[in-house]
Amino acid sequence: MLFAGINFSLHYRFLKGESLSFWRNSEFRFFIGAVTIFFLAVTFNIYHTVYETFSEAIRYGAFQVISIITTTGYSTADYERWPSLSQNILFICMFLGASAGSTGGGMKCLRIMLLLKHSYKQLFHLIHPHAVTQVKLGGKPVSNEVLHSIWGYFMLYLGLFVLCAFLLAAMRVDVVTSFAAAAATIGNIGPGLGMVGPMDNYVHIPVLGKWVLILSMLLGRLEIYTILILFVPEFWRK
């Protein structure tokens, strides 16, 4: 699961003899760092509260975090019985997703990393308004057009997530299930929380709600723009 969540071009470069190709990639470091922090936080949170032995806590914590963040969707434990902190971490993992150029869904680590860098740059400018700074990736500057595109995708992703959750809530689906199902489908995760948790499925969602979730899955898997551009009149005129 972890290997499939890494950019496949890095695997190719490694096989071609670039032994440091993984660690030189900033997105890989961000991805591995996020996985490590989240899985350690979950492990210590469920140790003693759910599992008596540390080895069990590590095994279940690592598997579930990696499964969710890589959008693999497998479950080896009923994480709805875990403490709230662990459930919230898994919910965050649903949005983060794996690396760009991998098999994973979600927003992708590359986008999140660039958004954080750009946010830091804006805060830095508030303190030093005359400073000239650039957002860089791998030592190369990232253009404002790319950053604006990423912010646009980020807002669309969140907007569609909220819309999907509200539509499900309007069909009398409980709040936890509505938001978890919206996050799990737009990120192509699979299991969520509530009525769509790891020990349940989507059979209880109303028929109209299932159609909403089908559209959510399509939008998430095809990265939103691919579907939405079909509804822009200028696209067909060209």
- 89-128 residue pLDDT tens: 999 999 999 999 898 889 999 999 999 999 999 998 888 8
| C-alpha–C-alpha distance, residues 50 and 46, integer Å | 5
| C-alpha–C-alpha distance, residues 69 and 108, integer Å | 9
| pLDDT tops 90 at residue 168 | yes
Pairing of strands 140-141, 136-137: antiparallel
Predicted confidence at residue 238, as pLDDT, reads 63
In percent, the amount of the chain with pLDDT more than 70 equals 100
| C-alpha–C-alpha distance, residues 179 and 216, integer Å | 12
Predicted confidence at residue 225, as pLDDT, reads 84
Q: Taking the complete model, does pTM exceed 0.85, yes or no?
A: yes
The pLDDT tens digits for 174-214 are 999 999 999 999 999 989 999 999 999 999 999 999 999 99
Q: Where does the chain have alpha helices with state H? A: 8-15, 21-24, 26-46, 54-69, 84-96, 109-127, 144-170, 175-186, 207-221, 225-228, 233-237
pLDDT-based confidence at 226, cuts 50/70/90? Answer: confident
Three-class DSSP category at 51: strand
Q: Which residue has the tokens 């993992």?
A: 93
